[in-house]
Structure 1
């Protein structure tokens, strides 16, 4: 089965070790899988647009795509289960039921060779990002991610609501963990963050009906989906 790993990525000194660890994990566990780092020409890093651009670059609309944050490592069994089901389910799959943020100490342990499950961590409740498993057809069926979210914050939560409202269920989870590695935290304040929070409110309101959500998602789609 054709398989592509897309990693939204703009190099920053504190993030390089995590990115290298993610790539190394895929090489060790999935061999010569096609890995693509994805960035855009946006002055402010646009994670939603990177994800969309990456998916739009995949030629076969029914091939499986892993969209993997540059700081997050999955578990192999959960990932393989998600890959197998995502090919035909018409839903996005999350290969975890628990999201572990390792922090500085846990990341140091991991990079020194401690198994990820044994590293110091905090559990992030409600996490719905980190690693997505999908096909381009499924990704575009509920609008992809809204590129009006700029900088950091809320694009994953808004996407989660769109998936639930338009596809009739939340993304499908597979028992397991993902492990988010430490780096310098991004700014969660300022004009971009405030605009993202306001846009998130529109998503919460639109979740009242598929018709409202479709209208909101359609408004964001002057972009990349084939045929859009």
Structure 2
């Protein structure tokens, strides 16, 4: 597990606590739970977590922390049912829901034959539930056959959106960074994100959306501009520099906005997202907050289905009943709300970070040190895309060399021409 996250020096204040004093992930407007129910289904979900290659890929440090808890539940099943056809089917196809259900039925039979094993694995599953940082989620309505939500489908949906009204948008500025040089899914996700941001209970004249594209050229400008209030391009080469990209958006389009929302391009938000989070500042009197405790990282099928439901069907929420994916706990990234004053005080995100990982935790650490930071318990929905490399070729994390918490923006930040504080 990440050293910063394990030590928890960030002093992020939860808004409610669970039975043991830890944060309880209960959303005020919806709830996501792992694939619970009968014990056999719970245990089988831990088998899936040990087999599915998407689990270590979604968050390597979360996997390293959680793996031993998964295996404490799953390995006894492998030892007893490893030669069973249902188990072998799931090993060969870890995302096959029918294979998962077949194994759950065999596990139920095993528990009926061996109640002592059932009792032991129930206790281990309880321990795992309280300790793992990636759990498994499958809604009761999950099924194959969703309509493909590709760029062309999103473009057709965008054509039917109303024209944005004139307005200063002085309540909220949303900044969304994007880099998709090979059409790996992020531009599709961004378009869904922007469509959801246009369908909000907050009056359209009260907020603005800025998209900043990091690329050698303005590759997706024609797709983005119709859905955003501001489009910026920063000429970026090599590994994605999310920090510089976000900083440029804030610095050059802030205007008179009273609050900032820094939002990843792969998040599909509900209709009340902006109003709810903007109101939280007045309700709680803090300087910054994470809106979420859990993030549901969807599989490809669920991503298509939920985009169609939210953007095509204009559902007010993102319906989780038809979703399948990995439920990540205490994610420090994806979205941060804060005041422009605090953003300026800490000098924005640290522009020395390149490639995957670290910049969000670094920012959260500095923000919570300089101001009051709160964590709420919404469930975020993350759309599928091809995963980026998470480590260098030698196995080292991309940003292990960056001293955490040392950036202050003293040399400036968000320069459109070049990254600040480096030799670029």
Give the TM-score of the pair, scaled to structure 1: 0.79
User: How far apart, CA to CA, are the structure 2 residues paired with 1:59 and 1:164?
Assistant: 22
Residue segments in structure 2 that go unaligned for 5+ positions in a row: 1-169, 214-233, 311-317, 416-424
Name the structure 2 match of 1:222. 411
Choose the corresponding residue for 1:178, options 380, 402, 422. Answer: 380
Secondary structure at the aligned position of 1:16 is classed as: helix
Residue segments in structure 1 that go unaligned for 5+ positions in a row: 204-212
The residue correspondences of 1:1-228 to structure 2 (distance < 5 A) are 1-11=170-180, 12-13=182-183, 14-29=185-200, 30=202, 32=204, 33-39=207-213, 40-44=234-238, 45-60=240-255, 63-77=258-272, 79-86=274-281, 89=285, 91-113=287-309, 115-118=318-321, 119-167=323-371, 169=372, 171-190=373-392, 194-199=397-402, 202-203=403-404, 213=405, 216-218=406-408, 221-224=410-413
Deviation for aligned residue 1:76: 4.1
Secondary structure at the aligned position of 1:194 is classed as: coil
Deviation for aligned residue 1:90: 5.3
User: How far apart, CA to CA, are the structure 2 residues paired with 1:10 and 1:67?
Assistant: 15
Name the structure 1 match of 2:162. none
- Taking a change above 3 Å as real, the CA distance of residues 36 and 225 of structure 1, as seen in their structure-2 partners, is closer
**Contact 2:342 2:370 (8 Å CA) reproduced:** no
RMSD: 2.8
Secondary structure at the aligned position of 2:370 is classed as: helix
**Contact 1:7 1:37 (8 Å CA) reproduced:** yes
- Taking a change above 3 Å as real, the CA distance of residues 224 and 191 of structure 1, as seen in their structure-2 partners, is farther
CA deviation vs aligned residue, 1:62-100 (integer Å, no higher than 9, x gap)? 522221111112334454232123479452222222211
CA deviation vs aligned residue, 1:127-147 (integer Å, no higher than 9, x gap)? 011122223212122332100
**Contact 1:116 1:179 (8 Å CA) reproduced:** no
Name the structure 2 match of 1:207. none
CA deviation vs aligned residue, 1:1-32 (integer Å, no higher than 9, x gap)? 53222110123412222111101101112563
Secondary structure at the aligned position of 1:116 is classed as: coil
Structure ranking higher on relative contact order (CA contacts 8 Å, 6+ apart) = 1
Secondary structure at the aligned position of 2:211 is classed as: strand
Give the TM-score of the pair, scaled to structure 2: 0.45
Secondary structure at the aligned position of 2:173 is classed as: strand
**Contact 2:293 2:330 (8 Å CA) reproduced:** no
**Contact 2:175 2:212 (8 Å CA) reproduced:** yes
